[in-house]
């Protein structure tokens, strides 16, 4: 396999010395970029974009041509696993995702099986291999999956939700059924991420968008514990290289210490905690990724630089920090402001 020309991300995730703080941006390949919107238009619809490796590769690489980013992240949807399980993922314009066959009962759960990453999810594995080839060692490629709790939420609600009435109703009324669902989804996520690693992903991240909707106790049981079981099952070396793992739960700062104890290499932070306080909670166990409020990018270059510098100075260790937003970039952001952010991180990042 080719050698990495820029290995800052991997080094920071493993808390090794870096020449400056690495930076990438959640949803960096996305609607805020006109070139992304053009490819999306060419694809016709969002799912075709996700399911065509050449197009997924094209949009994955786009932000790297504009900005001095230190990682590429696989362009894909968070709901590929439930789709591969036969739930029938659809995107109606302006409506967000929905499933034609949501999970509604114990018998629905009993019917679910772990999807074969080389069959139903082959388009993802193929995209990873293609992107890795096209990157040619420029920066590392991050693979990803949704967390079991987050995927289960969509599977039971049948799509996006504000109230989480169905999944929470299941959680409180029939926790055993929920555990069964989380178990099959966890096995699927582990298999899926390992297939991405074998295809060339050089780091993997688990996105737990909805863990923060739980009480701390239920978060640890239904969101963190399944993620911890996945961390134990992942191939942590491939082709002679260490594959770092990043866990990110939005809105779960109450459990950062517990996240750090899972064996993950890094923990992602949203912007509702000072990174200095987060560091105290996780100690020397993990690297931290984050955590600029994404809305800072609606302001001026001067304000963006000030806020970036604040976070960099609040993280006082020589390594172990990957700069990122605290959540995905919004579609309305001016790409020029992203350039200001990326360049500022490299200029003022931790040097060794």
What's the closest the beta carbon of residue 267 comes to a copy of itself, in angstroms? 16
Residue 251 makes contact with a copy of itself by CB under 8 A: yes
* Interface residue with a copy of itself, options 232, 299, 313, 316 (CB under 8 A): 299
Whether 8 is catalytic = no
Q: Are 60 and 130 in contact (CB under 8 A)?
A: no
Among 232, 300, 316, 352, binds a copy of itself (CB under 8 A): 300
Residue of the chain from 274, 339, 343, 346 that contacts a copy of itself (CB under 8 A): 274
Paired with 291 in beta bridges are 324
Binding residue (CB under 8 A) for a copy of itself from 37, 66, 285, 330: 330
- Give the residue, chosen from 44, 169, 283, 318, that forms a contact with a copy of itself under the rule CB under 8 A: 169
Residue that is written with structure tokens 């990326």 in the block? 342
295 binds a copy of itself (CB under 8 A): yes
Rounded to whole angstroms, the Cα distance separating 267 from 286 reads: 7
User: How, if at all, do strands 203-208 and 89-92 pair?
Assistant: unpaired
Q: Stretches 6-14, 87-95, 212-220, 343-351: which one binds a copy of itself (CB under 8 A)?
A: 212-220
**Taking a C-beta distance cutoff of 8 angstroms, is the pair 47, 91 a contact?**
yes
Dihedral sign from CA coordinates of 67, 79, 296, 24: negative
Residue 213 phi, psi dihedral angles, 5° rounding: -85, -5
Indicate which single residue of 285, 298, 309, 346 sits in contact with a copy of itself (rule: CB under 8 A).
298
Sequence-separated (6 or more) residues with CB below 8 Å from residue 268 = 205, 246, 247, 248, 249, 288, 289, 290, 291, 324
Q: Which is nearer to a copy of itself, 240 or 332 (CB)?
A: 332
In whole angstroms, what separates CA 21 from the centre of its chain? 19
List 64, 128, 267, 296, residue binding a copy of itself (CB under 8 A): 296
31 flagged as catalytic: yes
With CA atoms as reference, report the closest residue to 46 among 82, 77, 86, 81. 77
Pick from 254, 285, 309, 346 the residue near a copy of itself by CB under 8 A. 254
For residue 244, give the DSSP letter.
-
Query: Cβ 216 to a copy of itself, closest distance in Å?
Result: 6
By three-state DSSP, how is residue 195 classified? helix
* Helix or strand holding residue 246 (H, E): strand 245-249
* Exposure string for 66-75, b = 16+ CB within 10 A, e = fewer: ebebbbbbbb
Per rule CB under 8 A, is residue 107 in the interface with a copy of itself? no
Alpha helix positions (H), the chain: 8-13, 34-43, 46-51, 53-66, 80-82, 106-110, 122-135, 148-157, 165-173, 175-199, 216-219, 225-233, 256-260, 275-282, 301-314, 335-348
Rule CB under 8 A: choose which of 34, 94, 240, 332 binds a copy of itself: 332
Catalytic annotation present for 314: no
- Tokens standing for 170? 């299941």
Query: One of 7, 77, 83, 208 is an active-site residue; which one?
Result: 77
* Residue of 11, 36, 132, 154 marked catalytic: 154
- Residue whose pair of structure tokens reads 């932070």 in the numeric block: 269
Closest approach of a copy of itself to the CB of residue 252, in Å: 8
How far apart CA 240 and CA 344 sit, in angstroms, is 33
Q: Does 24 bind a copy of itself (CB under 8 A)?
A: no
| Residue 165 binds to a copy of itself (criterion: CB under 8 A) | yes
Closest approach, Cβ 84 to a copy of itself, in A, equals 28
Check residue 271 for interaction with a copy of itself (CB under 8 A).
Answer: yes
Site string for a copy of itself, 216-245 (x = CB under 8 A): xx----------------------------
- Catalytic: 27? yes
Residue positions annotated with a catalytic role: 27, 31, 40, 77, 154
| Chain positions contacting a copy of itself, by CB under 8 A | 163-166, 168-169, 171-173, 212, 214-217, 251, 253-254, 271-274, 277, 293, 295-296, 298-300, 303-304, 307, 330, 332
């Amino acid at each position: 396999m080719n050698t990495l020309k820029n290995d800052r991300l991997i080094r920071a995730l493993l808390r090794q010395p870096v020449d400056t703080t690495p930076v990438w941006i959640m949803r960096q390949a996305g609607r805020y970029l006109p070139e992304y919107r053009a490819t999306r238009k060419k694809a016709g619809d969002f799912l075709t974009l996700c399911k065509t490796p050449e197009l997924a590769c094209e949009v994955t690489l786009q932000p790297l041509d504009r900005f001095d980013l230190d990682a590429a992240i696989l362009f894909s949807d968070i709901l590929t696993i439930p789709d591969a399980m036969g739930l029938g993922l659809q995107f109606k314009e302006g409506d967000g995702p929905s499933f034609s066959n949501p999970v509604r009962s114990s018998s629905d759960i009993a019917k679910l099986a772990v999807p074969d990453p080389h069959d139903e999810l082959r388009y993802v594995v193929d995209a990873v291999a293609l992107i890795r080839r096209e990157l040619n060692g420029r920066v590392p490629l991050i693979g990803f999956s949704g967390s079991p709790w987050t995927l289960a939420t969509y599977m039971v609600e049948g799509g996006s939700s504000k109230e989480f009435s169905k999944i929470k109703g299941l959680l409180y009324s029939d926790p055993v059924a929920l555990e069964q669902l989380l178990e099959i989804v966890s096995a699927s996520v582990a298999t899926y991420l390992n297939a991405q690693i074998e295809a060339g992903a050089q780091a993997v991240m688990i996105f737990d968008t909805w863990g923060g909707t739980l009480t701390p106790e239920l978060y640890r049981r239904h969101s963190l514990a399944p993620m911890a079981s996945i961390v134990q099952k992942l191939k942590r070396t491939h082709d002679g290289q260490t594959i770092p793992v990043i866990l990110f739960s939005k809105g779960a700062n109450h459990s950062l210490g517990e996240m750090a104890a899972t064996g993950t290499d890094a923990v992602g932070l949203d912007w509702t905690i000072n990174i200095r306080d987060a560091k105290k909670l996780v100690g020397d166990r993990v690297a931290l990724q984050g955590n600029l409020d994404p809305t800072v990018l609606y302001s001026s270059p001067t304000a963006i630089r000030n806020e970036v510098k604040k976070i960099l100075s609040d993280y006082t260790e020589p390594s172990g920090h990957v700069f990122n937003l605290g959540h995905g970039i919004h579609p309305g952001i001016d790409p020029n402001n992203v350039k200001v952010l990326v360049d500022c991180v490299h200029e003022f990042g931790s040097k060794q």
